[in-house]
Structure 1
Amino acid sequence: MGMSVTISRAAEQDAEQIFRLRYLCFQSEAALYGDHRIGPLSESLADVRGEIASGVVCVARLGDEVIGSVYGRVTADGAGEIDGLCVHPRLQGHGIGARLLRAAEAAVTEAAPVGAFRLSAGTRSEPGLRLYRRLGYRATGRAEGPDGIPRIVLERATGAGQDPAAQDPDAGTAVYAATA
């Protein structure tokens, strides 16, 4: 009998596993842009601990191993911001990314009602962009990330206080769970 993947809020003791996972997952993104200074590869363990303490961090676990993570927070303008979605490369393509994204949306909504969720992805990050579009996100603009990587900004409107997972009947059936 195999183990199933569980999704939950991260705890401080998960910080090191999240840190290592993000470093592994974002290697392919760095190679895509020819720049290993991208945000997830330049963050510190203290940065990850700070995210867990101040924002919403959800993790996917297979047994005791953290195999996926995502950050979420409410921005100053009242939107829910999602960042850093990643799933271990050996486990991509099983809907884990979609489950993590929806869990982060639900956790952010618990913290404060939001009218929209916002995220961004590199312009060359097609697998991630496909996932986000399939989950109802639409391109609203372009921006340059703090690391200089050109990004597409995507948003998904939601009824304030409504459970985001209830709005997407296909939330658990992602075809690819790429990094954000």
Structure 2
Amino acid sequence: MIIKKATEDDLQEILDLQYLAYQSEAKLFNDPDIPPLKQTLPEVYSEYEKGILLKALNEDGKIVGSVRAVCNDDTAYIGKLIVHPDWQRKGIGTRLLLEIEQLCQRERCELFTSTRSIGNIKLYERLGYVSFKEMAVNDELRFVYLEKSCR
């Protein structure tokens, strides 16, 4: 497994992977219109321009995981940690998250996920993240925000 910075040429493949990886989240809410499934290539390009976007490559050079971050002041805002369903539970998400934390070099890291995403929450907590707030998006969806001291 190789982890490195994504290039502009990778963005469509990463977006396609995002659509695949977020199917499980959509099923948790019985909602095919969650925002990650509606994101467009220009929006991904904008995120690429403003922050750091990493990719995880398998031995065949295929992108099987990705993560993004925007670093502001003392905080790295991490998002869209995705791993191909066939490659999950192999440590790729952990490696991506630890690598982006190192690249950002901020005092704290922050991310969020759905309160129903128990597997994601367990991963983040195992890596030292602690919940600091919850926010209701609508009657069905609540986000839990987690943070970690990264220094």
TM-score, normalised to structure 2, is 0.93
Give the 3-state SS of the residue equivalent to 2:99 in structure 1. Answer: helix
Structure 2: unaligned runs, 5 residues or longer = none
Q: Amino acid of the residue matched to residue 70 of structure 2? A: R
Cα shift readout 1:1-42 (whole Å, capped 9, x = no counterpart)? xxxx10001100000110100000001101101222212101
Within the candidate set 17, 27, 33, 1:31 is matched to: 27
Give the 3-state SS of the residue equivalent to 1:69 in structure 2. Answer: strand
Q: Could you tell me how far apart the structure 2 residues matched to 1:103 and 1:145 are?
A: 30
Structure 2 residue aligned with 1:99: 95
TM-score, normalised to structure 1, is 0.78
Structure 1 residue aligned with 2:76: 80
Q: CA deviation at 1:157?
A: 0.8
Q: Alignment RMSD, CA only?
A: 1.5
Structure 1 residue aligned with 2:68: 71
Q: CA deviation at 1:58?
A: 0.6
The 8 Å contact of residues 25 and 89 in structure 1, kept in 2 or not, is answered as yes
Give the 3-state SS of the residue equivalent to 1:127 in structure 2. Answer: helix
Q: Could you tell me how far apart the structure 2 residues matched to 1:52 and 1:11 are?
A: 8
Which of the pair is proportionally richer in strand? 2
Q: CA deviation at 1:131?
A: 0.3
The 8 Å contact of residues 12 and 53 in structure 1, kept in 2 or not, is answered as no
Q: Amino acid of the residue matched to residue 11 of structure 1? A: T
Give percent identity, aligned residues only.
Answer: 34
The 8 Å contact of residues 28 and 116 in structure 2, kept in 1 or not, is answered as yes
Q: Which has the higher contact order (CA 8 A, sep 6+)?
A: 1
Within the candidate set 115, 119, 122, 1:130 is matched to: 122
Q: CA deviation at 1:145?
A: 5.1
Q: Could you tell me how far apart the structure 2 residues matched to 1:127 and 1:37 are?
A: 21
Q: Could you tell me how far apart the structure 2 residues matched to 1:145 and 1:78 are?
A: 26
Give the 3-state SS of the residue equivalent to 1:17 in structure 2. Answer: helix
The 8 Å contact of residues 19 and 48 in structure 1, kept in 2 or not, is answered as yes
Structure 2 residue aligned with 1:18: 14
Structure 1: unaligned runs, 5 residues or longer = 160-180
Q: Could you tell me how far apart the structure 2 residues matched to 1:129 and 1:135 are?
A: 10
The 8 Å contact of residues 101 and 150 in structure 2, kept in 1 or not, is answered as no
Within the candidate set 97, 115, 136, 2:107 is matched to: 115
Aligned length: 149
